[in-house]
Structure 1
Amino acid sequence: MANSSQNISQSRPKNIIVMIGDGMGPAYTSAYRYYKDNPETEEVEQTVFDRLLVGMASTYPATVSGYVTDSAASATALSTGIKSYNGAISVDVEKRPLTTLLEKAKTLGLSTGIAVSSQVNHATPAAFLTHNENRKNYIEIAQSYLDTDADVILGGGQRYFSAELLSQFTAKGYQHITDFSQLDTLSSPKVLGLFADVQLPWVIDTKQAHHLGALTQKSLELLSQNPNGFVLLIEGSLIDWAGHSNDIATAMAEMDGFAHSIEIVEQFVRQQKDTLMIITADHNTGGLSVGANDEYVWKPAVLHKVKASPDVIAAKAIAAQAWQAIVTKQLGFEPNSQEFTLLNNARMQGNEAMAISLRKLIDVYSNTGWTTLGHTGDDVQVFASGPGAKLFSGHQDNTDIANKIFSLLPSSAQ
């Protein structure tokens, strides 16, 4: 009997870290493996995703929304264990509030937090923190965070937090910071860190910064101060945004940023022994295919040469007379005359048209395929490590992931 109870206590984690790669369908982790491969070696090296893979999950929303989920419905499933309609922020199909993982953790005496690369009031973090009938009610969602009592809220979204709202946060004891350098000044919760107007900068444009990694590291440091434990959500939000734009160079850089954050958490799990990490995607975005046009090849080396996001390259090209030289230097390859003509036509139409044209050109040179600018209904992968990780093996639904996590929480307040 002693051994049995000991096994139960060992399998129940003190801390739980949920990591979501938004839009990160299986093709993304495959592409990332080849993107990170060392071409000087015969073998294709494993990535952190290969190392931690344990299962798969279905992602479909409530029947009313069909088979293809949005981020709100999937985050609601992952946060509450109940399916809802696309657009729902932790409310059921009747728009009644559902208890979220972070709310339940709070009642049990655990600390809670989120660290994301989108705005902090975007669909996924919102579904873990609050309730709303529509994910687009950004101002309402930001205001509702006052009542969540979360210990750490880190990401973008300054535009949604008025001076009056920020003063209410500080009146409740929150430290409000707006620059990554201020992370070093934090030695205790509570903190509201808003580091950008909306999203954090693209990884491809700030390669050495490791912004999400920095937010991850600080969240672990602050939340670990609670002897009862904590539950933390970390989201690589912008993988999805790059997928919606069919932007392979930017998507792979975002995958790299998310992988870096996973490795920080993985190291924490190895050292602490009492922490469970679960990683998954909320859905698949863009219908990415690793290879295209009946040609059995994919060229990630092309992506490594791209020096900035197509958005940034487009802006530079539009602002300069000698734009062809700028484009060639920033892409790392020289378009042919026909391609330059297409780019010039796009350049005359403005930044968005130019960026789209650049993304399509990168697809051609890397032989990358896409099927949609939206989401698809594919199953997603599940990765885990730490006490309780085996629970997530095999095939499951996204609601199962949440219900398994709920089962691992303490049975009563500590």
Structure 2
Amino acid sequence: MLHSTVQVSDFSLNTMPSMLNHPFNRMKKVKNIILLIGDGMGFSYTTGLRYFNHDSRLGLMKPTLFDHYFVGTQSTYSLDAKSNITDSAAAGTALATGYKTYNGALGLNSEKQAVPSILEYAKFRGKSTGLVGTSQINHATLAAFATHHESRENYHEIADDYLDERINGEHKIDVMLGGGTSYFSRNDRNLVEEFRKSGFGYAANSIELLADRNEKLLGLFAPIELPKHLDRYATTVPSLSQMTKAAIKRLQQNQDGFFLLVEGSQIDWAGHDNDIVGAMSELKDFESAFHVAIQFALDRDDTIVIATADHSTGGMSIDRNDNYKWDPAVIRSIKSTPAVIAADLHKTKELSRITRHMHLSLHQEDWKTIQTTLEMEVGDTKQALINIINHYSSTGWTTKGHTGEDVPIYAYGLNKHKFSGRMENSDIAKLLFEMID
């Protein structure tokens, strides 16, 4: 497995993706960049959010927060000989480096050469940097901005890189918040303690996050991914907006500015499961984080905020079976994700406990279906619940994988007009590189 490290000397005109011949070649220098990636968040998700937020059956739907800042779209395809649908690693690399690449690659171009990321370049220019996500923080999209590996599966090595690699003698990343304790506190190496010895604060829950006063911070709030927003306890696991606020609070102390990446990681995971409850839960969490970023940038003339997706997932459809009636009230009536409901039912074997999680009148055959799955695996019960909720809400899906359509770009602040129209995902990174200079 290739493991390449970008050196300071690599930050040159030969390795920087150029847009000098691009029509978007004149812009103002930015101090702060906040890039938010809703993993798997295609247009059907953000349109679905507008329906989801609409309480009345009549009247015009109010715009979502995203609607106010829509500027353009970007193409997501990868440069992969076997597939023309991207994975998160290839899309993350394009958004991070300005180079499209093959699926599974982190921070490498299609020739498997390490190329600098916008996070690394920001650190090279003296800015502070941060990674925030709801997956483990060494997962594909986040890792594409801070490491260089042939395979996104090198989770331990990626975690090691977050501590070991330096730019100008400093740690590459100043704030890291999300999941992944099992990758950072291992039998072979305790990265948590090493980060502490290197001057980082450490937070393991929401209370510790609020209490911490360190400028550099590692926060790990789950062994792997965080619970879905709908399933979190506020005292133990912070929301994406809380983590975003905590990161900005620290990063803005640098007079040279900062680069912050915020990922709504599990919009994608809900899409893979065809779980509309989880999808809307995670999308609301992501929208709140976008709001925090916008609030920071308001009345400033030195900050750009961009929200986009790496790809869409699941082929979500706002209706199924020609019903012409998507019913988000069904989704709002469910207070836990299907995974949590299924786990509870298998633990207790009490079918009646479903009413603690779902305020939904089910048909008798639905009760029988769920009862039958209690003799099977938890995953079977979870899938049965997903199928039932999709039926009652009239939510359609075409796949459990990624889909290849263009995805939206939302922007606010300095140079936001540069992201208007249609562009390649790699163009976003190219623009950000030039904005730093």
Give the TM interval when normalised to the shorter protein: over 0.9
**Contact 2:200–2:214 (CA<8 Å) still a contact in 1?**
no
Distance in 1 separating the partners of 2:370 and 2:193:
47
What SS does the aligned partner of 1:326 have? helix
Distance in 2 separating the partners of 1:218 and 1:165:
21
Distance in 1 separating the partners of 2:86 and 2:329:
33
Q: How does 1:168-317 map to 2 (within 5 A)?
A: 168-206=194-232, 211-317=239-345
Q: Could you say which residue in structure 1 is the equivalent of 2:78?
A: 61
Deviation at 1:250, TM superposition (A): 1.0
What SS does the aligned partner of 1:395 have? strand
**Contact 2:96–2:145 (CA<8 Å) still a contact in 1?**
yes
- Calculate the TM-score normalised by the size of structure 2: 0.89
Deviation at 1:341, TM superposition (A): 1.9
The superposition leaves residues 367-399 of structure 1 with CA deviations (integer Å, 9 ceiling, x where unpaired) of 000011110111100000000100000000000
Distance in 1 separating the partners of 2:233 and 2:309:
23
Deviation at 1:312, TM superposition (A): 1.1
**Contact 2:88–2:140 (CA<8 Å) still a contact in 1?**
yes
Distance in 1 separating the partners of 2:100 and 2:282:
28
Q: How does 1:135-154 map to 2 (within 5 A)?
A: 135-146=152-163, 147-148=165-166, 149=171, 150-154=173-177
Counterpart of 2:245 in structure 1: which amino acid?
Q
Structure 1 runs (4+) deviating above 4 angstroms are 207-210
Q: Could you say which residue in structure 1 is the equivalent of 2:11?
A: none
2:366 aligned residue (339, 345, 355)? 339
Distance in 2 separating the partners of 1:30 and 1:65:
31
The superposition leaves residues 320-377 of structure 1 with CA deviations (integer Å, 9 ceiling, x where unpaired) of 3431x22244221132121222212222112111001001100000000001111011
Deviation at 1:37, TM superposition (A): 1.0
Matched, 1:26 2:43: yes
- Quick check: which one's helix share is greater? 1
Matched, 1:45 2:72: no
Q: How does 1:97-116 map to 2 (within 5 A)?
A: 97-116=114-133
Counterpart of 2:249 in structure 1: which amino acid?
E
Deviation at 1:307, TM superposition (A): 1.2
What SS does the aligned partner of 1:272 have? coil
**Contact 2:300–2:413 (CA<8 Å) still a contact in 1?**
no
What SS does the aligned partner of 1:292 have? coil
Distance in 2 separating the partners of 1:225 and 1:205:
33
Distance in 1 separating the partners of 2:413 and 2:369:
51
Q: Could you say which residue in structure 2 is the equivalent of 1:374?
A: 401
**Structure 1 range deviating more: 52-61 or 339-348:** 339-348
The superposition leaves residues 126-164 of structure 1 with CA deviations (integer Å, 9 ceiling, x where unpaired) of 001111110011001000111152111111000001253
Across the two proteins, how many residue pairs are aligned to each other? 402
Q: Could you say which residue in structure 1 is the equivalent of 2:434?
A: 407
Distance in 2 separating the partners of 1:9 and 1:224:
26
**Contact 1:38–1:45 (CA<8 Å) still a contact in 2?**
no
Distance in 2 separating the partners of 1:322 and 1:336:
18
Identity of aligned residues (%): 41
1:394 aligned residue (406, 416, 421)? 421
Gaps of 5+ in 2: 1-24
**Structure 1 range deviating more: 203-212 or 373-382:** 203-212
Distance in 1 separating the partners of 2:70 and 2:26:
24
What SS does the aligned partner of 2:218 have? strand
Deviation at 1:25, TM superposition (A): 0.6
- Calculate the TM-score normalised by the size of structure 1: 0.94
**Contact 1:17–1:232 (CA<8 Å) still a contact in 2?**
yes
Quote the RMSD (CA, aligned, Å). Answer: 1.7
**Structure 1 range deviating more: 8-17 or 266-275:** 8-17
Deviation at 1:187, TM superposition (A): 2.8
2:178 aligned residue (140, 155, 177)? 155
What SS does the aligned partner of 2:261 have? strand
The superposition leaves residues 70-106 of structure 1 with CA deviations (integer Å, 9 ceiling, x where unpaired) of 0000000000000111000011223221101111111
Deviation at 1:170, TM superposition (A): 2.1
Deviation at 1:251, TM superposition (A): 0.6
